[in-house]
Amino acid sequence: MINIDSITQQSVPLTSINTPENRQSVPVPVADTGRITVTGTLRDSTGITLPGVTVSIEGSASGTVTNENGMYVLKVPVGKRLVFSYIGYQQVTVLVMPSSTKIDIVLKKTSSRPLDEVVVTAFGRKQRREAVVGSVTTIQPEQLRIPASNLTNALAGQVAGVIAYQQSGQPGLDNSNFFIRGVTTFGYRQNPLILIDNVELSTEDLARLQVEDIESFSILKDASATALYGARGANGVVLVTTRSGKEGSARINIRTDQSISEPTKSIKLADPVTYMRMYNDALMTRDPQAIPFYTEDDIYNREQTLINAPGSNKYVYPVVDWLDLMFKKSTTTRRATMNVSGGGKVARYMVSASLSNDNGILKKNPMNSFNNNVNFKNYQLRSNININISKNTELIVRLWGNFNDYNGPITQDASFSTDLYNMATHTSPVLFPAYYQPDTANFKVQHILFGNNTGNTTNTSNVGFQNPYAELLRGYKRFSQSRMSATLELDQKLDIITPGLRFHGFFSTNRYSLFANQMAYNPFYYTIRPQDYDRSANTYKLYWLNSATNSSPIPTEYLNYTAISTSANTFVQFQGQFDYSKKIDDHSIEASLIGVRQQTLNSDASTLQEALPYRNLNIAGRVSYNYQSRYFIELNAGYNGSERFSQNNRFGFFPTVGTSWIVSNEKFWDGPITNIITSLKLRGSFGYTGNDAISSQRFFYLSDVNLQGGNGAFFGVDNGYSRPGVVIKNYENRNITWERAQIANEAIELTLFKSLSLVAEYWQQNRTNILMKRNIPASAGLEADINANVGTAKIKGLDLTLNYKHKLSEKAWVEFMSNLTYSQGRYGRYEEPAYAEPWRYRSGTLLGQSYGYIAERLFVDDKEASASPSQLFGGNAPLGGDIKYRDVNNDGVITAADMVPVGYPTSPQIVYGFGVSFGYRALDINARFQGQARSTFFINPTSTSPFIPGGGTATGLAQVLKVYADSHWSEDNQDLYAIYPRLGTNTNQISNNLQPSTWWMRDGSFLRLKMVEVGYTLPRDIARRLALNSCRIFVSGLNLFNFTRFKYWDIEQGGNAFSYPLQRVYNLGINVNFL
């Protein structure tokens, strides 16, 4: 068996191919020509067999792939070289002799020693892990593979330094919120810079990236790692490189998935009868003299409808389960990807295509010929071609297209987020049916007879409520979104000038476009008046509420077209980069000089400022030195310019320094200790980065004066009068500049017993120059806000990664992975008015922390409420069962002065994840957990309170959450700690209970079984019979279980109770490989 480690120990010379990090050549004497059959087995350094290793004949299209047992068979001409290549392992070449009928190979993993791993850093620089002085975390592409169409949903709990959480499961709008080392600013932009193949792209583009296309995925976290991006790197950088073709015959890989998804947790509502009785209680608990709204006869008739008793009529006495009527229990998703790669000595290629089709859980009606359900389709095409023009010149051509087609209901906001859950939970279940069966007069109509109510018992023809079922079915919205990108890269060795000098030229352009429209009809609404129901015959006549003579808009039986929006922009980037490397004895020097120019032009600009191009200029430099691969130092600097700042502040300089010491490379690090501590590295960095995305405003140094500002001149008492006049929208400020981040990072990287690796990092950041509105007295007479860089914040945190891999036997292995991220930020300087109470100042409080009243309990009775400090919210005095707030300043009145910082931020301060992988022969099992802690959120009492409108587009009487029905204060249940306080039928009555307070605050901690996957690779002989080289079948699940004390809805959605629910996914897939 040829063992690379043993060859190295015997000092046999190794011939490098391309790069020494990736390839090694094992020299064997040349022998006679002829063809022989070569067999063998491929293993890693632990002895585990490697299926799927490419075995090819150098310079030929012939080759094969190892089977599930790591074995291969191939006919090879004597004198030719066999090339063994596998992602993540060093490539090996062997010259075939007449006696080489059996060649077993042990492939050495490029990351067998963590310090030997190749890491992609800023501007595509490839370094061995040992040479990296900054904080860079890499994720193996296979770790990002989950049964979902959105890559961002794979980040939570996967990598130390990334805080991520998902708050919507709606297809196409299910991106996770993610931050590198948490939220580190309270300014305009908090998200990281995203670069795919060195091109700045959006979170949406990252979300649609296919795992099969990814070669490397790096997270750049500290100043040393991000300084070259200067004023764009303060929030961290996500750096992704897509795959390139490898020399050899064409390799075809196809993967397809079929998924079934369902809500992780469904909201439970009280039944209609309970709703009616609680509504009566709500009336009478606030006014004992009130007459119950629902009579016992009303309640009895609904009870009969519920059990479908003989003689009951669900249209006259409706009991509507809006959620069940409008939403399916489950839906389906399909995904497929295919990529082809290969090439020869001159050109190499990687071409891929993918399709995903995600369906929503909305129901349709057979009377409609169109689809109102959410449907999101994504198509992607990618081509990466590397051409060796000469031995010193390489041309890289990258083409990419990302196309999204979305279909969904009319009831959406500008971001196409559906509001139907909110509507369904804020419409009475007993007021009117969703639709009627036709009566005699309407038997032949061609439209759906939607139910509604006037809000009273008279014969007026007003439509009093919104019917969520009608809103679901009355039409659809569509958008078509695309981004097309073309990149040319030229890599030129300049050894003719001086050895080690290289130039990299880069040009990229991409165009984004969006077209959105809707097709909708105006529903027909009906009701049944008391005089139109014949109880004895159990028949009814429908009354048309919105007839053409007394209604606007007029109902229609056809779809009307409305254009919603169109937008487009073009992005262009030029980049030139010189790299130099030199090794003199024990000294190694590397240097880079980079220039970047970017321009974005919006084609749909509505103002002169928006029509002007957005431009950025960046000059960056880097110098690194190491001695004997033991002592490293690196200096980085970015010098950035932006057109949005005045000339005296247009450019910013962001320097950093990083150092590291590899203790385990010292000569004294020898003997038994190396069997315990395999490697040990200490590193640290300090420097500055920036953030130029401080506001949506373009030019801070220019005044914006509108000479025709409408009634822009205000005067009189309380500015009660206005006349046409000049309006000032912005005052110039030539001193506004970038946010600036000062970051210090210390870390230790440790490997124990060759199998247990630990990385621990502690970091601190001081963020300054955060843009804020100044507190200017109204008496100054200024019309527009005054902005200035006055805000500051301090953040600190800890990143931990702990991994372990162990070989159980010749056929079995197990691996454990874990990580933890802790991030805590506090406000420094914060622009706010002068307060008499010190606890009202944000300075020193947690970033993102909420203010609220301290809720002590519910009032015992009316007497206690009247004797307590005054709580006159909404003008009504509280009663027994209303929330009692603490009078923090002891002035006898509950006001805003009694609000204090409460809980933790909504964005968690702690995110962690751990997982286990197990393999035995052809079977593999993977499980991953995700968790978060030190996070709180607030239930929105206005949105969740029974019987009142819930905001958004919802109107009508809100339904009752079952948890409120089971635990609320009443005359019969005077529980001072009931979940819901005293009931009411309008916001004015319960205004006291709607205030932000600890009563509605909940712990956001949870632990989720994020994913489980079980795979089986078919035996080689079976795969061959199917004309395949390898075939893996797998089943997987996503968001399977959640462990938390919060039971109302999925806790990861926080306070978004009535948004589209997160999805639990069950998936079946197959991955086949052709060669």
**pLDDT tens-digit map of 231-264:** 899 999 999 999 999 888 888 999 999 999 999 9
3-state secondary structure of 930: strand
**pLDDT tens-digit map of 894-923:** 999 999 999 999 999 999 999 999 999 899
Average pLDDT estimate for 43-67:
80
Residue 25 clears pLDDT 50, i.e. is over it? no
Residue type, 793: A
Q: What is the mean pLDDT of the chain?
A: 89
The answer to whether the beta carbons of residues 749 and 759 sit under 8 Å apart is yes
Residue 422 clears pLDDT 60, i.e. is over it? yes
Look at strands 560-584 and 587-602 and give their pairing.
antiparallel
Average pLDDT estimate for 253-276:
96
Residue 608 clears pLDDT 50, i.e. is over it? yes
In a domain, 102, yes or no: yes
pLDDT value for 5: 38
Residue 76: which domain range? 2-107
In a domain, 85, yes or no: yes
Assign 1019 a pLDDT band (cuts: 50, 70, 90): confident
In a domain, 19, yes or no: yes
Rounded CA separation 115/206 (Å): 28
Look at strands 475-493 and 721-723 and give their pairing.
unpaired
pLDDT value for 154: 94
Average pLDDT estimate for 760-781:
91
Residue 104 clears pLDDT 50, i.e. is over it? yes
**pLDDT tens-digit map of 628-658:** 999 999 999 999 998 889 988 899 999 999 9
**Shortest CA distance to 913 belongs to which of 141, 129, 164, 190?**
164
Between CA 1053 and CA 353, with CA 336 as vertex, the angle to 5 degrees is 110
Average pLDDT estimate for 332-351:
94
pLDDT value for 15: 31
**pLDDT tens-digit map of 153-193:** 999 999 999 999 999 999 999 999 999 999 999 988 899 99
Rounded CA separation 95/808 (Å): 34
**Surface-to-core class of residue 50, CB atoms within 10 Å of its CB (0-12 exposed, 13-18 middle, 19+ buried):** buried
**Shortest CA distance to 755 belongs to which of 672, 666, 816?**
816
pLDDT value for 111: 47
Residue 667 clears pLDDT 70, i.e. is over it? yes
Average pLDDT estimate for 889-894:
96
**pLDDT tens-digit map of 992-1008:** 999 999 999 999 999 99
Q: In this predicted structure, which of 412-426, 457-471, 563-577 has the lowest mean pLDDT?
A: 457-471
Q: What is the DSSP letter of 102?
A: B
pLDDT value for 963: 96
Strand partners, 1009: 929, 1041
pLDDT value for 221: 95
Assign 459 a pLDDT band (cuts: 50, 70, 90): very low
Residue 62 clears pLDDT 90, i.e. is over it? no
In a domain, 182, yes or no: no
In a domain, 49, yes or no: yes
**Tokens 């004015």 map to which residue?**
988
In a domain, 850, yes or no: no
Task: Give the distance from CA 190 to its chain's centroid.
Answer: 13
Buried b (16+ CB within 10 A) or exposed e, 166-188: bbbbbbbbbbbbbbbbbbbbbbe
Residue 34 clears pLDDT 90, i.e. is over it? no
Helix axes 272-286, 296-306, angle to 10 degrees: 160
Work out the percent of the chain whose per-residue pLDDT is above 70.
Answer: 92
Assign 29 a pLDDT band (cuts: 50, 70, 90): very low
**Shortest CA distance to 320 belongs to which of 434, 210, 230?**
434
Cis peptide leading into 13, omega within 30 of 0?
no
If one compares 796 and 1059, the residue with the highest pLDDT of the two is 796
Residue ranges in 718-828 assigned as alpha helix (H): none
Token pair in block for residue 518: 């809707």
Token pair in block for residue 1066: 């069950």
The answer to whether the beta carbons of residues 131 and 626 sit under 8 Å apart is yes
**E strand residue ranges, 692-811:** 704-706, 713-715, 721-723, 727-730, 739-752, 756-773, 787-807
In a domain, 36, yes or no: yes
Rounded CA separation 736/728 (Å): 19
**pLDDT tens-digit map of 527-558:** 999 899 999 999 999 999 888 666 678 899 99
- Tell how many helices (H) and how many strands (E) occur in the chain: 14, 55
Average pLDDT estimate for 581-604:
93
Please tell me the total count of domains within the chain. Answer: 1
Residue ranges in 524-637 assigned as alpha helix (H): 608-611
In a domain, 95, yes or no: yes
How does DSSP assign 19-84, residue by residue? -TTTEEEE-------SEEEEEEEEEETTS-B-TT-EEEETTSS-EEE--TTSEEEEEEETTPEEEE
Residue 22 clears pLDDT 70, i.e. is over it? no
How does DSSP assign 745-765, residue by residue? EEEEEEEETTTEEEEEEEEEE
Average pLDDT estimate for 125-141:
89
Average pLDDT estimate for 731-744:
93
pLDDT value for 870: 95
pLDDT value for 957: 83
**pLDDT tens-digit map of 189-223:** 899 999 999 999 999 999 999 999 999 999 999 99
Q: What is the CATH number of the domain that holds 25?
A: 2.60.40.1120
If one compares 454 and 843, the residue with the highest pLDDT of the two is 843
pLDDT value for 779: 75
pLDDT value for 506: 97
The answer to whether the beta carbons of residues 394 and 491 sit under 8 Å apart is yes
Work out the percent of the chain whose per-residue pLDDT is above 90.
Answer: 69
pLDDT value for 115: 60
pLDDT value for 416: 63
pLDDT value for 114: 57
pLDDT value for 549: 67
Q: What secondary structure, in 3-state letters, does 950-1000 show?
A: CCCCCCCCCCCEHHHHHCECECCECCCCCCECCCCCCCCCCHHHHCCEHHH
**pLDDT tens-digit map of 862-880:** 999 999 999 999 888 999 9
Q: In this predicted structure, which of 319-333, 341-355, 714-728, 1037-1051 has the lowest mean pLDDT?
A: 714-728
Token pair in block for residue 541: 């006549």
Residue 7 clears pLDDT 50, i.e. is over it? no
Residue 811 clears pLDDT 70, i.e. is over it? yes
Diameter of the chain by CA atoms? 109
